[in-house]
A and B are shown apart, each in its own frame.
Chain A
Amino acid sequence: MKEPGADTPAPPHDASLLLEVEGLTTEFRTEQGRVAAVDRVSFQLHRGETLGLVGESGSGKSVTNLSILRLVPDPPGRVVAGRVGYRGKDLRTAAEEEVRVLRGRNISMIFQDPLTSLNPVLRISTQVQEALQLHHGLGGRQARAKAVEMLRLVGIPDAERRADDYPHQFSGGMRQRVMIAMALSCNPEILIADEPTTALDVTIQAQILELIKGLSARSATAVILITHDLGVVAGMCDRVCVMYAGRIVESAGVDELFSDPLHPYTRGLLDSIPRVDRAGGGRLHSIPGSPPSLIDMPDACPFHPRCPSAMDICRRAYPPETSRRAAGSDRARTVSCWLHAEVRGGPTQREPA
């Protein structure tokens, strides 16, 4: 039994633009006050592209992605503003049923902890088959066959037999592979991977990332990869958005970002990576201070207490988003920092949404 509505073609626009997020804001009501976990976040995702979302814990990266698919637990959270444009619809304001139809079929998500993200009392085959039976209307036997095929694809040995096992009989790395199989089984256009390797051993991490890279390239799936590890970003992503305190402070192509970081926070992150080739064997660099509390944030740059280049204006107002187009690139890079904000008359300048 197939579901209607998920096949409507996207209206003519930039033909490769899949997802357009504008001004997304998600709040949590806590005992201490309102927390804007995601604050006016905007970015674009194009077909086949891998977008990295980087930031520390609590920077809002995971919540951003949950907000796209409307999976934020309510209470205590709520997506209060913004637009999530996909296939001509605004997912934020669309009917729940319309969004549900897209989940798992057009937009899939995999989560950080494979231990708790799989249902312990259901067989692996059942869990992988579900999406296939629901979205593609496959019968029991067909769905199982396809599920086994997916498991083989992600590298589960002896897939035919192991499909009937339960999650606790698999190792962490294998479980994550199962999650990937589940997510990709219906050939989604977008895969959202929320820190897929953080909970895994270092040796397994590389394998899983390679798997994601390979599979998404095969079917031209766009990937939003959330991570706190810049090394992963370097290896996997085409474009990067850096998040801090719920906001995107910089976004650029991966090469641009690494070679010419504009925002002091980005620079701090890059400098913190221990380098064996640095002469002198000096101290490890770290960004002093700690991330701010997100409760009732004032209108200022959230990074200013820790910023080596902070100016007076940083304390008084949130910097506008500045766009810059580098030579030889058809995509703009943006940064929200007073250091790079041009006065009137300069290159394109956008006020915060």
Chain B
Amino acid sequence: MARYVAKRLLSLVPVLFGVSLIVFFLVRLIPGSALEMYMGTQVEATPQQLEELKRIFGEDKPVPILYVQWLGRVLEGDFGYSLRTGRPVLPDILARLPVSLELTLLALLIALLVGIPQGVLASLTKNRVVDAANRMAGLLGLSLPQFWLAALMVLVFSGFRGWIPMGNYIRFVSNPLRNLLMLILPSLAIGVGLAAVIMRYTRNSMLEVLQADYIRTARAKGLKRRVVIVRHALKSAILPVITVAGFNTGYLLGGAIVIEEVFALPGMGRLALYAIYQRDYPVIQGIVLVIAALFVLVNILTDLLYAVADPRIRLDEAGR
């Protein structure tokens, strides 16, 4: 088990290395360099000033060397400075992590609380019509574009202006209630789609497990239906759901770009979006690297969680 953990964590390294390569080199390919954009506002500059600017904007050396230098600094925790604001990149990124994290966790909570019971119920119904209706409802949830759902919610709830705080984001620590109110709509917008995914996976997994021989054994022992479903079926069926829930969590940390934009939440996705809009290279490099790293890390954690939950992996045949 410990070896499994170590192996998975070790696989982080080459992947992140590859990610950093792609990020760095692709960023350099973005047309309209920041220097040119900056220069647009200047009338003229002396050759020395030009040299200095080039150095600041990182355009004085060949790209591979710049990459190595950048990588070196990153490993020491120095992600450089934003071209737009001049502030250090890493602290800004980290400041936005809690926001994305809170949004993601709320959405996940909604999705699990709604999706799992629905999925279990859907797997148990024998009525063809109800079953088809359940499946369509699940697929419908998957088909809703988040930004549309968000827009509809804003529309519907615009009457509740007093309830939903608008304006600047309020952190959880300063005012928990207002913070949660601000995040309800965005988490719902994400949560509905995620609940549909969870419901489908739960239903499919339950259907497969219910066919298994050991469920027949459980029934042959005279166990009550509820016990068979919860203790025997659900316990195995939940495993693939762990995987998909974890995957989506990792995705949402950096991928909830549209929702953050619509609701003006200062999350990581939004930072990445604006950095790309503004061609702010250091920020782009930093945030994309962090988002990818988090995504991979969460996936690894999910795998580990799965391994712990499934005794067949947790305890191999040899040892205990």
Q: Do A and B come into direct contact in the complex, CB within 8 Å?
A: yes
Chain A residues close to B by CB (< 8 Å): 69, 71, 75, 100-105, 108-109, 111, 113, 116-122, 130-131, 134-135, 165-166, 168-169, 179, 182
- For B216, what are the chain A residues with a Cβ–Cβ distance below 8 Å? 71, 111, 117
Q: Which of B126, B222, B232 contacts A103 (CB 8 A)?
A: B222
Asked if B161 is an interface residue, CB under 8 A from chain A, the answer is: no
Known: A166-B311, A168-B311, A169-B315. A118 touches B222 (CB 8 A): no
Asked if B224 is an interface residue, CB under 8 A from chain A, the answer is: yes
A116 to B223, CA, bound (A): 18
- For B310, what are the chain A residues with a Cβ–Cβ distance below 8 Å? 120-121
A182 to B222, CA, bound (A): 12
A113 to B217, CA, bound (A): 11
If over half of B's interface residues share one DSSP class (helix, strand or loop), that class is named, otherwise mixed; here it is: helix
Question: Is there contact, CB below 8 Å, between A130 and B312?
Answer: no
A113 to B310, CA, bound (A): 21
Question: Is there contact, CB below 8 Å, between A111 and B213?
Answer: yes
Question: Is there contact, CB below 8 Å, between A121 and B212?
Answer: no
A113 to B216, CA, bound (A): 12
A273 to B60, CA, bound (A): 90
Closest A-chain residue to B238, C-beta based? Answer: A121
**Pairs across A and B, CB under 8 Å, 16 listed:** A69-B220, A101-B222, A103-B220, A103-B221, A104-B221, A111-B213, A111-B216, A111-B217, A118-B214, A121-B235, A130-B227, A131-B221, A131-B223, A134-B223, A134-B224, A169-B315
Chain B residues close to A by CB (< 8 Å): 126, 212-214, 216-224, 227, 231-232, 235-236, 239, 309-312, 315, 317, 320
- For A113, what are the chain B residues with a Cβ–Cβ distance below 8 Å? 213
A119 to B221, CA, bound (A): 13
Question: Is there contact, CB below 8 Å, between A121 and B220?
Answer: no
Question: Is there contact, CB below 8 Å, between B223 and A130?
Answer: yes
From B126, B213, B220, B312, residue with most partner A Cβ within 10 Å: B220
Closest B-chain residue to A168, C-beta based? Answer: B312
A103 to B227, CA, bound (A): 14
- For A69, what are the chain B residues with a Cβ–Cβ distance below 8 Å? 220
Known: A100-B224, A104-B220. A116 touches B311 (CB 8 A): no
A251 to B206, CA, bound (A): 42
